[in-house]
Structure 1
Amino acid sequence: MHWWRAKPIFSAIPFRVRLTLLYSSLFVLALIGISVGMHIAVAQTLHANVQRDLVAATQQIRSILNAVGLQGVRTPSGELQLYLNSDFIQLFTNRNIGAQFFRGDGTLVSSTPNLAPYMLPLPNEALNMNVTDENGLTIIREVNGVQVKSLITRVTLHNGQTIGFIQVSRPLNDVNDTLATLQTILIIGGVMATLVTGMGSMYLSKRALRPIEQITQTAQSIVRAEDLGRRIPEPVQRDEIHQLTVTINELLSRLERLFSTQQRFVADVSHELRTPLTVMQGNLEVLERGASTDPALVKEMVGDMRRETARLIRMVNDLLLLAQSETNVVLRSEPVELDTLLLEVFRELRPLANQVRLRIGAEDQILVYGDRDRIKQALLNLGVNALQYTPPGGLVILSLERYEQFACLSVADTGIGISEAERDLIFERFYRVDRSRSRHSGGTGLGLSIVKWVAEAHGGYVTVASEVGRGSTFAIYLPLPESPATSSTG
């Protein structure tokens, strides 16, 4: 099976099972590595001990030979006949280690009694062994089903003549039995440890994921019940689960606010659209009943429908602008002379003032960078809003001043004012302090929302100071461009 076919099958396994399999797999890999390393280390240690025993026995034999001595007689042919003194066999009777002495041609001369079960001839490699090789020749052979390790060294006279070979041997059955027992222990212990680890991992993963399951169930119940007011209980421990719970609760709070805002927005839009559409529908019905024969009535109804149509157009444009603000639209950045813009807004507001006095207060010459059309629209919205809420004979003042690192465009009026409880709500969409008056004057309830967005989009902010019955002052603060001295210093 290809890996891309097995991947969907593996992803269908529950996360708890996958976590258990992952933990168990890592444990098995670590256990295999430790077991193999332990087996190799023990095997090397045991064989090193055997080698030390063989070397020690060889040195012991040489000491015995030096103490007892070798006796030799000449055969008629002149060859030297060597044999071991009987005291040597009595002195060297180690049960695990056996010794053999061979002539130079490989003929066995004598051996210890414990080598009786094994036939250990001198290997051919020993005959070709270098005379200067002090470590001798180590060889492992199998005799009668038992592995035997042998160390073979030369025996030479003072003149360098080789008189024979000493072969010290030791069976490896105890070493192999120990390694086999260790291997069995490692396998059985590894299997049992893997089972215990698997069950423990399953239990721990289930316990660790239980809070997440509770969070999931609570979130699902909230979604099914459509009750965004509910919250997931936060655990006492301030760990990752606590952070996840806090994050989900914050997400639910934001969703609740967005959902409530959306519901209120839809309701407000529906309400705002219903009024002009109802007026237009009523006028059309009057026209159908024969009012078209009265020129004065027709003119009045056409004027009403024109005003309602203009109001709908303004509302749609404002909604489009606010929708663009939520998509992080990039505004233009161009030099804007605010004093010139203030005069333009003053001239455009003058025909709308009627019986309200409109004046210009402080007027500094200030240049900022931004979107001129949006700044003008925001200032116009503040001016229109001030004129709508200022009674006849009242006063509206447009001002431009420098305030620290900001340019301050302010609109002050002597209107009805805003209560403290309503100041945090006036920048919400479709909110009005006096709904009847603003609707009568053609307001859409979106002007201040646009003002706030324009100020924040330029890196500034908007403030309001008001007192009921005495008027309000709205101010737009736009950041000033950095001076050359400031930029060079930075």
Structure 2
Amino acid sequence: MKHIWVKLALVIMTVGACAVLFSSLLSVKEMDVHFSMYANEVRNQHNQEISRVALQAYQDHQGWGAEAYHKLEAVSEVLGLHITLLDQQRQVKKEWGKRSIHTSNYSVDKIPLVSKGVMIGQLVIRHDDRSAYMTLESHFQWAHKNTTLWTMAVLLILVMIISIPLARTMVRPVVQVSTAAQRVARGNLSIRVPEPRGKDEVTSLVAAFNNLVQSLEHQEELRKRLTSDIAHELRTPLNTLLAQVEGMIDGIWEATPKNLENTRSEVLRLSRLVRDLDQVIQVESGSLQMRSEEVELREVVKEVTESMSATFARAQVNFHFKGDHAVWIKGDRQRLAQIVANLLTNACKHTPAGGEVVVTVDKPSTMVRLQVKDSGTGIDQKDLPYVFERFYRGDRSRARERGGAGLGLTIVKGIVEAHKGIISLDSRVGEGTTITILFPPQAHEGEK
């Protein structure tokens, strides 16, 4: 199996090699072009200098003569060029320098000589490609190309040397995630991958993986707790019922109205548990039956609070309702009443005597708000992410004493989301809990 760092190293090498090759070829090409321009400029300067010397000699000596020929011969020897002087009829008057026996290894420049507006002759200059100057030019170009090739080779080696550790470093978090994922698949949910520095996609990947594993670990804990809690919730009333029935059969426990009422309470407890579990399953599977109608939320809340006034009175908890204006939403009236009842029941259970529960229904912005605030025991910050999980109970032993299986908020959250609402919770230990639900508003006929 080819490792990902090998593939990445090959990609880096390929890109680096292409970049080095391209830059080297471009450098050689540019050098050839600019050096050719330089060579042509030097050649033109030589031609101009030779023509200047020829004209000056012609003018100084009143024509072509030995002195003029001597100067042109000296120039030919110094520059290593073959110079031919033609007269006005383009006949050869004099030649200087050696002809190359390789007729293809030279180039020719023809320069007309004009003195005082009169054509006095023409210079034919042969530039031998094998001359010292041209040899120097070729040597310089060869040296540059050779240096470029060596530089390219060194750079390619450096790219190969750097690409391997660079690729390993870049993919190390990915490899760690892959290794950790294999261990997670084998059931090890405690593993975490160290997050690399920086804020790139790899860092996001590692963070997402760690969050996923943490969520899986929490879900596994919930699954184990769910199994344990269901077993306990079923075991307690079943054992009680079994003991009571066996007591009646054995004649130890009389079937008095009070004893039968206790038996009935345990049966109702089982019934509520099964009902709540069924609702949780419906909520999570999206199969919860919902009616869709215009509902005046304030009216629903008032009905529920009035029915629970005796409950708050027995618990010695002060209750206040705030809602001066009608607010309309679209939803299931019965399910909305269930939401309010669950929230108020929880608030009453967790608020000590003398405490306070405030319910607010209003429309502070574009959304309709239902808020339940209590001055109860509050919830620990570490437990806040899990309050809507199944069978969550902050104090499990006390929660059983107060009744309920920890499914109420799970059901509430599911019903709220089925109404396209948003539920949030804020709590401080010893200060109380505030649950806020936002519903999309519904325009009522009387308001249109």
Q: Shorter chain as normaliser: what TM range?
A: 0.5 to 0.7
Contact 1:345 1:376 in 2 (8 A): no
> Which residue is equivalent to 1:379?
340
Secondary structure at the counterpart of residue 38 of structure 2:
helix
- Judged with a 3 Å threshold, the aligned counterparts in structure 2 of structure 1 residues 340 and 111 are, in CA distance, closer, same or farther, namely same
The answer to whether residue 337 in structure 2 is matched with residue 367 in structure 1 is: no
Q: Is the 8 A contact 2:81 2:125 kept in 1?
A: no
Aligned pairs (5 A) from 1:138-149 = 142=104, 147-149=105-107
Q: Tell me the alpha carbon deviations over residues 32-77 of structure 1, each in whole angstroms, 9 at most, x when there is no partner.
A: 332223222322333233323332232232233223329999xxxx
In structure 2, the partner of 1:58 is: 47
State the structure with more CA Rg. Answer: 1
The answer on 1:152 being equivalent to 2:110 is yes
Which residue in 2 is equivalent to 1:116? 99
The CA distance in 2 between the partners of 1:336 and 1:90, in whole Å, is: 116
CA distance in 1, matches of 2:288, 2:22: 56
CA distance in 1 between counterparts of 2:28 and 2:348 reads 94
1:138-287 correspondence to structure 2 within 5 Å: 142=104, 147-156=105-114, 158=116, 160-161=118-119, 163-171=121-129, 172-210=134-172, 212-214=174-176, 216-217=178-179, 220-221=182-183, 224=186, 226-228=188-190, 230-233=191-194, 248-273=209-234
Are the structure 2 counterparts of residues 53 and 274 from structure 1 closer, same or farther at C-alpha, using a change threshold of 3 Å? same
1:30 corresponds to 2:19:
yes
Q: 1:273 to 1:260 in 2, by over 3 A?
A: same
Cα distance between partner residues in 2 of 1:86 and 1:465:
112
Q: 1:377 to 1:213 in 2, by over 3 A?
A: same
- Aligned partners of 2:175 and 2:436: how far apart in 1? 49
Deviation string, structure 1 residues 204-226 (Cα, Å, up to 9, x no partner): 32244445545554554455461
TM-aligned CA deviation for residue 377 of structure 1: 0.2
Where does structure 2 lack aligned partners over 5 or more consecutive residues? 250-255, 444-448
CA positional deviation for 1:446:
1.7
Structure 1 residues 217 and 316 mapped into 2: Cα distance closer, same or farther (>3 Å)?
closer
Q: 2 CA distance for matches of 1:118 and 1:102?
A: 21
Alignment partner, residue 69 of structure 2: 85
Q: CA-to-partner distance for each residue in 1:359-396, whole Å, 9 max, x for gaps?
A: 99757554234443333002333566689999xxx999
Q: Pick the aligned partner of 1:446 from 389, 407, 425.
A: 407
Equivalenced residue count is 413
Query: What's 2:38 paired with?
Result: 49
Structure 2 CA distance for aligned equivalents of residues 365 and 278 of structure 1: 50
User: Structure 1 length as normaliser, TM-score?
Assistant: 0.61
Report whether the alignment pairs 1:336 with 2:296.
Answer: yes
Contact 1:396 1:411 in 2 (8 A): no
% identical aligned pairs = 16
The alignment partner of 1:94 has SS state of helix
2:416 and 2:422 in contact (8 A); partners too: yes
Residue 404 of structure 1 and its aligned partner are, at CA, apart by 9.9
Q: Distance in 1 between matches of 2:231 and 2:274?
A: 15
Distance 1:226 1:162, change over 3 A: same
TM-score by length of 2: 0.66
- SS in structure 2 opposite 1:69? helix
> Is the Cα contact below 8 Å between 2:90 and 2:121 reproduced in 1?
no
For residue 77 of structure 2, give the secondary structure of its aligned residue in structure 1. Answer: coil
Query: Which secondary structure does the structure 2 equivalent of 1:100 belong to?
Result: strand
| Matched AA of 1:155 | L
> Is there any run of 5+ residues in structure 1 with no aligned partner, and where?
1-11, 74-79, 121-141, 290-295, 485-490
- Whether the 8 Å contact between 1:368 and 1:480 is mirrored in structure 2 is no
Q: Matched residues in 2 for 1:328 and 1:45: separation?
A: 81
Give the SS at the match of 2:303: helix
* Residue in structure 2 matched with residue 5 of structure 1 by the alignment: none
CA distance 1:179–1:311, change in 2 (3 Å) = same
Relative to structure 1, is the Cα distance of residues 198 and 436 closer, same or farther in structure 2, using a 3 angstrom cutoff?
Answer: closer
Mapped to 1, the partners of 2:208 and 2:291 lie a distance apart of 33
In the TM superposition, residue 99 of structure 1 has moved relative to its aligned partner by 1.9
Superimposed CA distance per residue, residues 433-489 of structure 1 (whole angstroms, 9 cap, x where no aligned partner): 6566566xxx4432244346667874465678999xxxx99876556999x9xxxxx
For 1:422 and 1:159, how far apart are their aligned partners in 2? 109
Which structure has more helix as a fraction of its residues? 2
The amino acid across from 1:336 in the alignment is E
Distance 1:284 1:167, change over 3 A: farther
Cα distance change, pair 64–399 in 1 and its aligned pair in 2 (3 A): closer
Aligned with 1:100 (options 84, 89, 93): 84
* Conserved? CA contact 1:17–1:202, under 8 Å: yes
SS in 1 for 2:327: strand
Name the CA distance, whole Å, in 2 between partners of 1:159 and 1:365: 112
Moved more, 396-405 or 190-199: 396-405
Q: Secondary structure of 2:390's match? A: coil
CA RMSD after TM alignment: 5.7
